[in-house]
Amino acid sequence: MSERHLSTDDLVKMIRDISGTIVAGAVEESMQKALKPLERQHTELLARALADPAKQAEAESATRFGRLVRAIGTAALNQKRMQGPSNPADVLNQWGDKAIADVYAKAMSSSIGSEGGHLIPTQLSSDVIEFLRPASIVRRLNPTTIPMPNGNLRIPKVTGGSSASYQGENQNIAQTQLVVGQIALTFKKLTALVPASNDLLRYSGPGAASADAMIRDDVVRAIAQRENQAFLRDDGTVSTPKGIKNWAVAGNIANSAGTSLANMVTDLGVAILALMNNNIPEGRWAWMFSPRTWNSFMTIQNTNGFFVFRDEMSRGTLWGYPFAFTTQMPGSGATGEMYLVNMSDAIIGDSMALQVDVSMEASYVDATSGSLVSAYSLDQSIVRAITEHDFAMRRGESVAVIQAMSY
């Protein structure tokens, strides 16, 4: 039996291997000791965040509508490719979103999904309404929102009250009578077209929160832009709601006094007095105007160089009432408008859960260029959203309009 003698190089290598293992073990042990507190701290912070119901609800509602719309688009894409599940509920289940899939499947039991439309369940439609609030100034300023499941609603209102009078001995009591009327809300259909990249549908799999949020934001933005305009200034014809301005009674509409500080103060006072003279109760009054008007109020100074309204407006109110501004109110030349509205009398009737369908062959008009765009040639899917609602003011006296403003 031959003996193998270690060369100097072999011996050096063996020593290095053994010492390397010892050193590596020592380093690993030291790192574990150092990182253990950090790992425990991170775990505790994560557990606290996940245990907060508000944070969980906010994160979930921020994406589940977009996730369902993405699932509808993915199902349509799978059907075209004849690969993968072609039912949105099956797509959601494949992504591990069983809760959303179950809610959707239940809603579909009475919907028209087989004809190409997909009703978004009421729970998910509510998420869209919540995200519409910051995008639409009318919703943001806290109107009265009521469900209108049958598409129509009649709301009673008092148009004339009883009265009392003093009388002498042996005189008949004067007869008075309460006069009542009603406001009829009837659904108006609002539609939106939102292009979505098919690459987004193909490659953003389960848990793609950013993709869900992007689709949701696009749908909300499209709906909010048109809805806001309707609730503010539409005249109620051509199947649109009647907006706030057109509910105002003639006595509550006045032209602006001018552009000086004194004129601005006069305009504010005229609007407030109009509501006061009609005995409109305070509590939920709010201003609405254009960005130009907001800028004018924020920058106007008195003769001593002090900003008159800026400090209060930085806190969110103007003369004690909240305000909001939007580019969908006139604000150029001498066409500016400003409204003071009792939001308690502003009523939004929401009548139908969102209906969404998807097409990969449709064309649409680009909002920027005005040209016709083919979804097929751009490898896009067109998401079409349909919702129904109506708007009304219980009393026209609850709206004051200052118009022909140059500031």
Place of tokens 């557990």: 47
Q: Does the residue 341 lie in any domain?
A: yes
pTM, entire model: 0.73
Q: Which residues contact 259 (CB under 8 A, 6 or more apart)?
A: 296, 406, 407
Give me the domain span that covers residue 328: 245-348+394-405
Q: Does the residue 268 lie in any domain?
A: yes
Q: How far apart are CA 345 and CA 342, in angstroms?
A: 6
The structure tokens listed for 192 are: 């939106």
Q: Does the residue 252 lie in any domain?
A: yes
* Alpha-carbon distance values, 273 to 270, 276, 288, 356 (Å): 5, 5, 16, 46
Q: Does the residue 281 lie in any domain?
A: yes
Residue 184: closest CA among 341, 352, 398, 391: 391
Secondary structure (3-state) at 189: strand
Identify the pLDDT of residue 26: 53
Q: Does the residue 270 lie in any domain?
A: yes
Q: Which residues partner with 393 through β-bridges?
A: 346
Q: Does the residue 80 lie in any domain?
A: no
DSSP assigned state of 240: -
pLDDT tens string 230-265 = 999 999 998 999 999 999 999 999 999 999 999 999
User: What is the pLDDT averaged over residues 279-293?
Assistant: 96
Identify the pLDDT of residue 157: 67
Q: Does the residue 286 lie in any domain?
A: yes
Is the confidence at residue 334, as pLDDT, over 70?
A: yes
Q: How many other CB atoms are there within 10 angstroms of residue 333's CB atom?
A: 9
Q: Which CATH number do you get for residue 263?
A: 3.30.2320.10
* Alpha-carbon distance values, 185 to 27, 73, 156 (Å): 74, 33, 11
Least confident of 32-46, 167-181, 271-285, 360-374: 32-46
Identify the pLDDT of residue 35: 46
As for how many domains the chain has, the answer is: 1
Identify the pLDDT of residue 328: 93
Q: Does the residue 372 lie in any domain?
A: no
pLDDT tens string 106-132 = 777 655 444 456 878 877 777 787 778
| 81 contacts 363 by C-beta, under 8 angstroms | no
Secondary structure (3-state) at 70: helix
User: What is the pLDDT averaged over residues 172-178?
Assistant: 73
